[in-house]
A and B are shown apart, each in its own frame.
Chain A
Amino acid sequence: MSEDSAALPAAAAATADVTRLDALLAPNRRAQMVKAVVGLVVVLIILSLPFQYADFQLDRFSKVIAFAIAAMGLNLLTGFTGQVSVGHAVFFGLGAYTTAILVNDHGWALLAAAAVAALVAGAVGVVVGLPALRISGLYLALVTLALAMLFPQVIKRFAWLTGGSEGKPLRTDVEVAPGVVKPRTVRFEAPFGDLTSSQWTFYVFLAIGAVFYLVAWNLIRSRMGRAMVAVRDNEIAATSNGVHLARVKVSTFGLSALFAGAGGALYALGEGNVVPDKFGVEDSIYLLVAVVVGGAASLWGPALGAIAIVFLADLVPENLQPVSRLIQGLLLIGLIIAAPGGITGLARRLGATVARRFSSASHNPPIEEEPT
Chain B
Amino acid sequence: MHLLAFDTEFFLQRIFAGFESGAVYAMLGLGLVIIYRSSGLLNFAQGEMAMFSTYLVWALVGGDGGGGMNVWLALVLVMIISFAGAAVIQAAVIRPLGDPHLNPLAVVIVTIGLYLTMHELPALFWDSANHQLTPLFGTGSIDIAGTAFTYRALGAVVLLLVEAAAFWAILRYTKLGLALRAVSTNSESASLSGVAVQRTLMLGWGLAVAIGVVAGVTTVGTQVFDPNFMLVVIIYAFAGVTLGGFDSPLGAVVGGLTVGLITETLPFYVDAIGGEFQLMPAFVLILVVLLVRPQGLFGRREVNRV
Contacts and interface: CB of A to CB of B under 8 A. Distances in A.
Contact of A326 (B100, B124, B282, B283): B124
Interface in A192-245: 234, 236-237
Interface stretch (B59-67, B115-123, B147-155, B198-206): B115-123
A311 interface: no
B105 A157 contact: no
Contacts of B106: 336, 340
Interface in B24-77: 41-42, 44
Contacts of B283: 146-147, 149-150
A329 B117 contact: yes
B294 A333 contact: no
Contacts, number: 135
A288 B112 contact: yes
Given A323-B120, A336-B106, A330 B291 contact: no
Contact of B116 (A86, A150, A153, A326): A326
A139 B290 contact: yes
A292 B115 contact: no
A94 B235 CA distance: 22
Contacts of A325: 116-117, 119-120
Which of A142, A325, A340: most chain B CB closer than 10 A?
A142
A24 to B, nearest CB: 43
Size band of the A side of the interface?
35 or more
B120 A333 contact: no
A309 interface: no
Contacts of B120: 322-326, 329
B165 interface: no
B41 A138 contact: yes
Contact of A329 (B107, B114, B231): B114
Contacts of B280: 150, 153
Nearest to B120: A326
A329 B115 contact: yes
Interface string A112-134: 00000000000000000001001
27 contacts: A79-B105, A82-B105, A86-B108, A131-B290, A135-B290, A137-B101, A138-B100, A138-B107, A142-B290, A143-B286, A146-B239, A146-B283, A146-B286, A149-B235, A157-B276, A281-B231, A288-B109, A322-B123, A326-B119, A326-B123, A329-B112, A329-B113, A329-B115, A329-B116, A333-B117, A336-B109, A336-B110
Interface of B: 41-42, 44, 93, 96-97, 100-101, 104-110, 112-121, 123-124, 128, 231-232, 235, 238-239, 242, 276-277, 279-280, 282-283, 286-287, 290-291, 294, 304, 306
Which 8 A-B residue pairs are closest in the complex by CB-CB distance? A329-B116, A329-B117, A326-B120, A332-B113, A333-B113, A137-B104, A329-B113, A138-B42
Given A141-B104, A326-B121, 13 more contacts: A84-B104, A84-B108, A135-B290, A138-B100, A138-B101, A157-B276, A323-B123, A325-B119, A326-B124, A329-B116, A332-B112, A333-B93, A336-B110
